[in-house]
Amino acid sequence: MTTSSEVFAPVKWEGDALLLLDQTRLPVETIVLTIETAEEVWAAIRHLQVRGAPAIGMAAAYGLYLGIRQLEAADAGAFRELLHQRADYLATARPTAVNLFWALDRVKARIDQEGEKPVDVLKAAVLDEALAIQREDAEVCRTIGENLLTLLNDGMGILTHCNPGALATAAYGTATAPFYLAKERGWNLKVYADETRPVLQGARLTAYELQQAGIDVTLICDNMAAMVMAQGKVQAVIVGTDRVAANGDVANKIGTYGVAVLAKAHGIPFYVAAPLSSIDLETATGAEIPIEERPAEEITHGLGKQVAPDGIQVYNPAFDVTPAAYITAIVTETGIFKPEEIGKAKP
């Protein structure tokens, strides 16, 4: 793995390698990682160098190509077996964002469709499918943004949590897409970005990317959301998601549930931006969504220095589940849905 520094998209296939913007270093340093193996992709996902549900899926699809491109297989059947082994390995990188499994399954399905073609043709198809996933994600995000804009008005204040932004997707972000589109149209939206403890994706990533884009963004600590709502500064909340269950429960970055409860208490609509790749109709309710627990150091040393006593017990779930009852609507590329009707979103 090599590094270089330049301003860059979060995930990019260039020449023969996968380039990832190291999101653990933003906003202070812009470091691009040149990734050449599936193992490096696995580690980049696990350690949040690439993060955010759609970007994890994209990186995994490229990782699958990196994992099989030099393998020798006697025929299509043997190739498929190796492909599935590599996919199973990449699927262990993180548990919550369903886009990881969705992307790997999509590549496997493409290779099934290719039938008994020569192994080199199948290898090229793996890369082709990864490129297609990334290409389509940009269009999906733009459409989600257009759909969300129909729920907003010029001049609104909007709260968001974590980073559901361009840094988590091929372009625009999911929940942030209407902010970019509103700017293109000359609207003035005022965005409040929760810092999003413990890893500060809101401060380090959302505040950074929206500021870079010239969008009116104000950073607040997570525990200020209630005050901002009570002061009437926010007329809508928009968040992303890592997985939507069949009953409309939504897993997203830890703290989202609290924001949803606050929004309901203040009569503020709570919207979830969800590409179809994040909707998991095979998971019946949010209670079945696997919630990742991350290392204690993210809390005890998360701000670059020790902030808690040695040996303290720590509980660090990276995601929580917002019950459908707190969600006003889930907005996908196919339309706007009540959470309990999310099954209708998938064609």
Among 53, 9, 1, 59, CA closest to 30 = 9
Write down the least CB distance from residue 125 to ligand MRU, Å. Answer: 27
Q: How would you classify the pairing of strands 243-245 and 279-280?
A: parallel
Q: How far apart are CA 162 and CA 103, in angstroms?
A: 22
Q: Is 97 in the site for ligand MRU (CB under 6 A)?
A: yes
Nearer to ligand MRU, 67 or 275 (CB): 275
CB-CB contact of 233 with 336 (8 Å): no
Residue 198: is the preceding peptide bond cis (ω within 30°)?
yes
Count of residues that bind ligand MRU according to CB under 6 A: 19
242 is catalytic: yes
Q: Is 332 in the site for ligand MRU (CB under 6 A)?
A: no
Stretch near ligand MRU under the rule CB under 6 A, chosen from 50-58, 222-230, 281-289, 296-304: 50-58
Q: Which amino acid is at 241?
A: T
Residue 312 neighbours by CB under 8 Å, 6+ apart? 296, 300
Nearer to ligand MRU, 49 or 76 (CB): 49
Among 252, 277, 300, 328, binds ligand MRU (CB under 6 A): 252
Write down the least CB distance from residue 121 to ligand MRU, Å. Answer: 33
Q: Is 286 in the site for ligand MRU (CB under 6 A)?
A: no
Among 240, 248, 255, 302, binds ligand MRU (CB under 6 A): 240
Given the residues 194, 242, 280, 320, the one annotated as active site: 242
Q: Is 174 in the site for ligand MRU (CB under 6 A)?
A: yes
CB-CB contact of 162 with 201 (8 Å): yes
Among 49, 143, 147, 201, binds ligand MRU (CB under 6 A): 201
Number of H helices, E strands in the chain: 11, 15
Among 31, 41, 51, 342, binds ligand MRU (CB under 6 A): 51
Among 13, 293, 286, CA closest to 131 = 13
Exposed/middle/buried for residue 60 (C-beta within 10 Å: 0-12, 13-18, 19+): buried
**Tokens linked to 99:** 């886009």
Q: Is 253 in the site for ligand MRU (CB under 6 A)?
A: yes
Nearer to ligand MRU, 145 or 240 (CB): 240
**Tokens linked to 257:** 């549930």
Q: Does the CA dihedral 143-237-271-194 come out positive or negative?
A: positive
Stretch near ligand MRU under the rule CB under 6 A, chosen from 51-59, 127-135, 145-153, 328-336: 51-59
CB-CB contact of 190 with 232 (8 Å): no
Among 22, 32, 52, 95, binds ligand MRU (CB under 6 A): 52
Q: Give SS3 for 76.
A: helix
Q: Is 54 in the site for ligand MRU (CB under 6 A)?
A: yes
Q: Is 147 in the site for ligand MRU (CB under 6 A)?
A: no
Nearer to ligand MRU, 68 or 318 (CB): 318
Residue of closest CB approach to ligand MRU: 240
Stretch near ligand MRU under the rule CB under 6 A, chosen from 1-9, 33-41, 167-175, 329-337: 167-175
21 conformational bin, left if phi > 0, alpha if psi -120 to 50, beta if neither: beta
Q: Could you tell me the maximum CA-CA distance found in the chain, to the nearest angstrom?
A: 67
Residues near ligand MRU, by CB under 6 A: 48, 51-54, 97, 162-164, 168-169, 174, 201, 240-242, 252-253, 318
Catalytically active residues are 242
Annotated binding site for substrate, which residues?
A: 51-53, 94, 201, 252-253
